[in-house]
C-alpha cells in the first residue's frame, strides 16, 4: 500500500497520540498547522523535516500533503468554518470524533463532503483493532452466544475541567466526548438503534462541566436492548485496579464479557447432562438442603480481546483510511455511517429533556435506513 503524506491540523494535546500511532506504523506526517506558537514549536522539534504552518492555507496548498488529519476542536463554531475550507482542497479527510455534537451540523458536513466528492471518515479508533474484530466475530456468530438479547456498557472516567478550558466544558460532554467511543462500537456491531431513552445530569461540584453523566437505553429492531451507564465525574476506586470500561452481551447460549484493558471471558450455558467442568455445581443451604447454584456454565478466557494501545489504534485507523482511499472504496466510519452516531447523541439529549424515548426515524426522516447494518459486516463488504 502506498503511504500518503499526512497533513495534521491541530498539533497540541491529543494530536500527539495520533502522531505516535502513525510513527509506529510507518506513516509520514509531512506538515502540521496550528495557530498556537507553542504547539508549532513542539511539532517542529518532533518532526524537523516537516513543514509547519500557522495558517491553514499554507498546509492545504502543500503538494506533499495528500491526506488531512483533523484534530481541531469539534465545537460547531470552529469546525464548520474549518470544514468548508478543507473541502476546497479536495483532499481526503480523517476527522477526530465526534464529527459534531449536533445532528444538523453533522448532516450538513455529510452532505457537503458528498457534494464535493471528498472522502470523509470519522476517527472512531476503537473500531480498528484486532480485538474489536474478534469481539465482533464472537458476537455476530450466532453459535457462540446466540442472537444478542441484552447488552450493558459501563464507562467510568474522571473529567474535571477548569471553567475556562475549551475541552469538556460544552453542553454535550457526556455523549459527544465521554461515550462516543462506545456509540461508535455499537454502530459498528449492530447498525443504528430504533429508539433512544436517556437521563443525563452533572456533578455540581465540578464547576467546568455542563453535563457529565447519564444513562442510555438503546433498542434495536432485532429485539436487542443495550443500556449504557457513562460518567466523566467518577473519582471512586482507582480505575487502574477496577478497569474504566466494561462491556457485555448476552444471548440464549451465553455471555461475552469484555474489559478492553484486560481481555474477555466467554461464559456459555451448558445442558444439565453435560459433564464438562463448569461453575454450575450444586451447593447446600445452612440446613444441608441442596440448593442449585445456577445454570451450568463453561468459562473461557479470551486474551485475544485485549485492546491495542491508544496510539496503535489510531495508527490502525489511518491505515484503514488510506487503504480505502487508494482502493476508491468507502471506509468504515464514513460520514454517512457516523451520522447515525451523532443522531444517537442528539436523541439522547432530546430524550433527557423531554423524559421520553426518541425514535431515530422521526429524528432523521428519510436519512434513517432500518436495514442499514449490521455495521461491522457491512463495513468489511464496502
The per-residue DSSP string of 176-203 comes to IIIIHHHHHHHHHHH---SEEEEEEE--
pLDDT band at 299 (very low <50, low <70, confident <90, very high): very high
CB-CB neighbours of 45 under 10 Å: 8
Residue 123: beta bridge partners? 96
User: What distance lies between CA 44 and its chain's CA centroid?
Assistant: 30
Is residue 257 located within the same domain as residue 213?
Answer: yes
pLDDT for position 51: 96
Instruction: Give me the chain's average pLDDT, please.
Output: 85
* CATH value at residue 90: 3.40.50.720
Comparing 176 with 58, the larger pLDDT belongs to 58
Nine-digit cell string for 365: 426522516
pLDDT band at 274 (very low <50, low <70, confident <90, very high): low
What are 76-108's pLDDT values in tens digits?
A: 677 888 999 999 999 999 999 989 989 999 999
Query: In the predicted model, what is the mean pLDDT of residues 124-128?
Result: 87
How many folded domains does the chain comprise?
Answer: 2
Query: In the predicted model, what is the mean pLDDT of residues 235-247?
Result: 68
Is residue 117 located within the same domain as residue 134?
Answer: no
Is residue 212 located within the same domain as residue 284?
Answer: yes
- The answer to whether the beta carbons of residues 193 and 220 sit under 8 Å apart is yes
- Specify if 175 maps to a domain: yes
Instruction: Give, rounded to a whole angstrom, the gap between the first and last alpha carbons of the chain.
Output: 18
- Asked if residue 226 has a cis previous peptide bond (ω within 30° of 0), the answer is no
Is residue 371 located within the same domain as residue 250?
Answer: yes
What are 251-260's pLDDT values in tens digits?
A: 999 999 998 8
Q: Locate cell 429492531: which residue?
A: 221
- The answer to whether the beta carbons of residues 202 and 210 sit under 8 Å apart is yes
Is residue 54 located within the same domain as residue 146?
Answer: no
- The answer to whether the beta carbons of residues 46 and 19 sit under 8 Å apart is yes
pLDDT for position 282: 46
Is residue 107 located within the same domain as residue 27?
Answer: yes
Is residue 239 located within the same domain as residue 258?
Answer: yes
Cα(23)–Cα(165) distance, rounded to whole angstroms?
29
- C-alpha closest to that of 331 among 131, 120, 48: 120
pLDDT for position 2: 66
pLDDT band at 374 (very low <50, low <70, confident <90, very high): low
Element (H, E) at 230: strand 225-231
- Specify if 382 maps to a domain: no
- The answer to whether the beta carbons of residues 94 and 70 sit under 8 Å apart is yes
26-40, 193-207, 238-252, range with greatest mean pLDDT? 26-40
- C-alpha closest to that of 252 among 150, 137, 134, 154: 150
What are 157-181's pLDDT values in tens digits?
A: 777 777 777 666 677 777 887 889 8
pLDDT for position 90: 95
Query: In the predicted model, what is the mean pLDDT of residues 206-211?
Result: 74
- Specify if 235 maps to a domain: yes
Q: Locate cell 436487542: which residue?
A: 224
Residue 378: pLDDT above 70? Answer: no
Residue 376: pLDDT above 60? Answer: no
- The answer to whether the beta carbons of residues 103 and 338 sit under 8 Å apart is no
Is residue 159 located within the same domain as residue 279?
Answer: yes
Query: In the predicted model, what is the mean pLDDT of residues 15-44?
Result: 92
- The answer to whether the beta carbons of residues 82 and 111 sit under 8 Å apart is no
Say what percent of the chain tops pLDDT 70: 88
CA-derived radius of gyration, the chain = 22
Buried/exposed code over 134-166 (b: 16+ C-beta within 10 A; e: otherwise) = bbbebbbeeeebeebeebebbbbbebbbeeeee
| Stated pTM of the model | 0.89
How big is the chain, counted in residues? Answer: 382
Is residue 100 located within the same domain as residue 159?
Answer: no
Is residue 178 located within the same domain as residue 30?
Answer: no
Query: In the predicted model, what is the mean pLDDT of residues 359-371?
Result: 94
Is residue 321 located within the same domain as residue 345?
Answer: no
- Specify if 193 maps to a domain: yes
* Helix count and strand count (H, E) for the chain: 13, 17
- Specify if 91 maps to a domain: yes
What are 113-122's pLDDT values in tens digits?
A: 999 999 999 9
Query: In the predicted model, what is the mean pLDDT of residues 308-316?
Result: 82
- Specify if 171 maps to a domain: yes
Residue 285: pLDDT above 70? Answer: no
pLDDT for position 155: 87
- Asked if residue 374 has a cis previous peptide bond (ω within 30° of 0), the answer is yes
> Which segment of 149-163, 290-304, 312-326 scores lowest on mean pLDDT?
290-304
331: which residues sit within 8 A by CB, 6+ positions away?
A: 119, 121, 320, 321, 324, 325
- C-alpha closest to that of 260 among 352, 364, 135, 344: 135
Is residue 366 located within the same domain as residue 267?
Answer: yes
Cα(318)–Cα(61) distance, rounded to whole angstroms?
21
Residue 299: DSSP 8-state? E
Query: In the predicted model, what is the mean pLDDT of residues 294-322?
Result: 85
Nine-digit cell string for 285: 443451604
pLDDT for position 325: 94
- Specify if 289 maps to a domain: yes
Q: Which domain holds residue 35?
A: 6-126+311-334
* CATH value at residue 195: 3.30.360.10
- Specify if 67 maps to a domain: yes
Amino acid at each position: 500500500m502506498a503511504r500518503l503524506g499526512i497533513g495534521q491540523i491541530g498539533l497540541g494535546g491529543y494530536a500527539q497520540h495520533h502522531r505516535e500511532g502513525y510513527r509506529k506504523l510507518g506513516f509520514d506526517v509531512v506538515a502540521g498547522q496550528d495557530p498556537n506558537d507553542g504547539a508549532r514549536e513542539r511539532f517542529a522539534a518532533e518532526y524537523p523535516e516537516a513543514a509547519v504552518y500557522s495558517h491553514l492555507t499554507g498546509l492545504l496548498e502543500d503538494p506533499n500533503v495528500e491526506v488531512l488529519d483533523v484534530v481541531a476542536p469539534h465545537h460547531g463554531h470552529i469546525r464548520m468554518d474549518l470544514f468548508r475550507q478543507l473541502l476546497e482542497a479536495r483532499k481526503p479527510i480523517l476527522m477526530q470524533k465526534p464529527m459534531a455534537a449536533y445532528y444538523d451540523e453533522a448532516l450538513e458536513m455529510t452532505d457537503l463532503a458528498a457534494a464535493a466528492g471528498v472522502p470523509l471518515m470519522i476517527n472512531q479508533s476503537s473500531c480498528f483493532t484486532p480485538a474489536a474484530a474478534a469481539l465482533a466475530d464472537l458476537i455476530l456468530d450466532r453459535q457462540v452466544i446466540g442472537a444478542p438479547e441484552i447488552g450493558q456498557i459501563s464507562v467510568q472516567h474522571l473529567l474535571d475541567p477548569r471553567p475556562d478550558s475549551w475541552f469538556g466544558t460544552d453542553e454535550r460532554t457526556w455523549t459527544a466526548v465521554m461515550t462516543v467511543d462506545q456509540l461508535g462500537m455499537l454502530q459498528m456491531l449492530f447498525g443504528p438503534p430504533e429508539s433512544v431513552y436517556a437521563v443525563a445530569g452533572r456533578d455540581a461540584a465540578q464547576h467546568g462541566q455542563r453535563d457529565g453523566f447519564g444513562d442510555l437505553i438503546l433498542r434495536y429492531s432485532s429485539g436487542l436492548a443495550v443500556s449504557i451507564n457513562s460518567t466523566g465525574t467518577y473519582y471512586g476506586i482507582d480505575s487502574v485496579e477496577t478497569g474504566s470500561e466494561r462491556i457485555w452481551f448476552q444471548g440464549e447460549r451465553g455471555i461475552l464479557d469484555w474489559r478492553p484493558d484486560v481481555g474477555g471471558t466467554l461464559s456459555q450455558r451448558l445442558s444439565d447432562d453435560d459433564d464438562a467442568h463448569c461453575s454450575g455445581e450444586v451447593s447446600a443451604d445452612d440446613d444441608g438442603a441442596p440448593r442449585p447454584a445456577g445454570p451450568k456454565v463453561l468459562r473461557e478466557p479470551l486474551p485475544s480481546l485485549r485492546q491495542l494501545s491508544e496510539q496503535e489504534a489510531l495508527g490502525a485507523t489511518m491505515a484503514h483510511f488510506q487503504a480505502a482511499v487508494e482502493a476508491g472504496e468507502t471506509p468504515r466510519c464514513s460520514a454517512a455511517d457516523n451520522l447515525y452516531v451523532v443522531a444517537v447523541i442528539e436523541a439522547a439529549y432530546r430524550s433527557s429533556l423531554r423524559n421520553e424515548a426518541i425514535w431515530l426515524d422521526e429524528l432523521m426522516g428519510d436519512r434513517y435506513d432500518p436495514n442499514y447494518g449490521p455495521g461491522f459486516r457491512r463495513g468489511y463488504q464496502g
